[in-house]
Amino acid sequence: MAHAIADKSKLLSAANTALPVGAGRMASLALLALGGITIALTILGAVLGDDTAKKVALASFHVGFLVTLGLALGSMILVMILHQVNAGWSATIRRQLENVMSMIPVCLVFFLPVAILAPMIFHWMDPHYTDGDVVYAAKASFLNKPFFYVRAVIYFGAWLYFSQRLYRLSIGQDSDGDRWRSAKARKMSSYGLLIMALTTAFAAFDWMMSLDYHWFSTMFGVYFFAGFIGVATSLCALILIILRRAGVMEGLVTQEHLHDLGKLMFGFVVFWAYIGFSQYFLIWYGNIPEETMWFQVRRTDGWMPYSVALAFGRFVIPFVVLMARPARRNPMILATVAIWLLAFNALDLFWVVRPTVHTPDGHSIMFGWLDAVAILGPVCIFFGLLVRKIASNPVVPVNDPRMDEGIAHKNYV
């Protein structure tokens, strides 16, 4: 017994749980610089370009914002679920999810330009489109500018509150070792999940579904929930693999934890596909024009290859790869799949948002350099700041009451 305790204190020593001073600074600076350059290029492209280029830049910047938001929200939902189900194994991995979750304020900053310039891509805000539109008139009491902004304030208010409270509870435990903080976090997570379900669903309606404001689907909120939580799991696995290579977390995060994260990635890949397929399938089978129009755009006008790529890249390929046990236990393969899924999540959001932008005569505009820089901008800055965040705290919640279980975690079957 004494032996085990000595081991534990060694595992949780500063050398194993804290990154050296200045670690990751170069990576962070490089990412921030890349983010700065791409944002500058986006602005340049938008200012010098015509009206359509401006719309393209904003829509793709919106995609970039949604990518970062999805990572943060997905991580927060996962943290809440892990608290709720009292998951002992997650003690050593949870801090990385918390780091991502605490980046919500950064997402808020990215949202500001979208919110200010919204009428450019949210056609329902533009009287040019809505004049005499009876369908819009029927939903105008929900889709109107003041209420749109009020809702955004409510969503961000809730997200900021929960992310910062949960983050502080965890960080505070590092210093005072009070295990009742975990009980508090657990309690918060219960009603927190309820609020998260509603806010993410309506945020998806507001910021994605309303881009095509005639179209509607009850599943839309769940679709994003499913995608976000999966991609948050992937990012968590990726961060842990990188940290392990940096020489910390020895014996804290092992192959066993990666294996379980791989299982969760697999599970969420399937869940995303299940939700996505159900949504597509029911609309396809019903074949009612007011519903099929959304998919019709994405099946024609050059968007079809994107749809096919999404089905294969976001489901079939990771499904097959992650099915194999050795793949889930191999850090290199798992990291590759994680990066792959992060990229295809971006494609998913691009596929949802960007086909709503047309040339003045109604033609689609395919992916171009402006899209690339506009998406990369917020994403690079997000990751640059995330690296700093990771380096600023112990890489595991050192005083978590479940730490023993987390360290001892094994997959026997």
C-alpha to C-alpha distance for 113 and 39, rounded to whole angstroms:
12
Q: Which is nearer to another protein, 117 or 219 (CB)?
A: 219
Q: Amino acid identity of 224?
A: F
Query: Which tokens go with 47?
Result: 């200012």
Nearer to another protein, 263 or 329 (CB): 263
Q: How far is the CB of 198 from another protein (least distance, A)?
A: 7
Beta bridge partners of 364: 358
Contact footprint for another protein (CB under 8 A): 85-86, 88, 134-135, 138-139, 142, 176, 178-183, 186, 190, 194, 197-198, 201, 205, 214, 216-222, 263, 270, 274-275, 278-279, 282-283, 285-288, 290, 401-402, 413
Give whichever of 293 and 366 is closer to another protein, judged by the CB atom.
293
Identify any residues that bridge with 358 across adjacent strands, giving them in sequence order: 364
For the bound state, the minimum distance from the C-beta of residue 397 to another protein, rounded and expressed in Å, comes to 12
Pick 1 or 21: Cβ nearer another protein: 1
Q: Are 75 and 235 in contact (CB under 8 A)?
A: yes
Q: Is-contact 178 89, C-beta < 8 A?
A: no
Distance of closest approach, residue 28 Cβ to another protein, in angstroms:
34
Neighbours of 66 (CB within 10 A): 30
Q: Which is nearer to another protein, 179 or 363 (CB)?
A: 179
- Minimum separation from the CB atom of position 157 to another protein (A): 20
Q: How far is the CB of 5 from another protein (least distance, A)?
A: 13
Taking the complex as a whole, the smallest distance from the CB of residue 250 to another protein amounts, in Å, to 23
Alpha helices by DSSP H, listed for 287-368, are 289-299, 304-311, 317-323, 325-329, 331-353
Q: Are 217 and 279 in contact (CB under 8 A)?
A: yes
List phi, psi (to 5°) of 358. -125, 165
Residue number with CB closer to another protein (21 or 141): 141
Q: Reduced to 3 states, what is the DSSP secondary structure of residue 88?
A: coil
> What six digits make up the tokens of 181?
């903080």
Which two three-digit tokens encode residue 294? Answer: 């959304």
Nearer to another protein, 158 or 343 (CB): 158
Residue 120 CB, shortest distance to another protein, in Å, is 23
How many other CB atoms are there within 10 angstroms of residue 290's CB atom? 11
For residue 212, count CB atoms less than 10 angstroms from its CB and return exposed for 0-12, middle for 13-18, buried for 19 or more.
middle
Instruction: Report, in Å, the least distance between residue 383 CB and another protein.
Output: 31
Nearer to another protein, 131 or 176 (CB): 176
Coil, strand or helix at 358: strand
Q: Are 56 and 370 in contact (CB under 8 A)?
A: yes
CB of 349 to another protein, least distance (A): 19
**In the complex with another protein, which residue's Cβ is closer, 389 or 409?**
409
Question: Per-residue b/e over 326-353, b at no fewer than 16 CB within 10 Å?
Answer: ebbbbbebbbebbebbbebbbbbbbbbb
- CA atoms of 16 and 250, how far apart (whole Å): 6
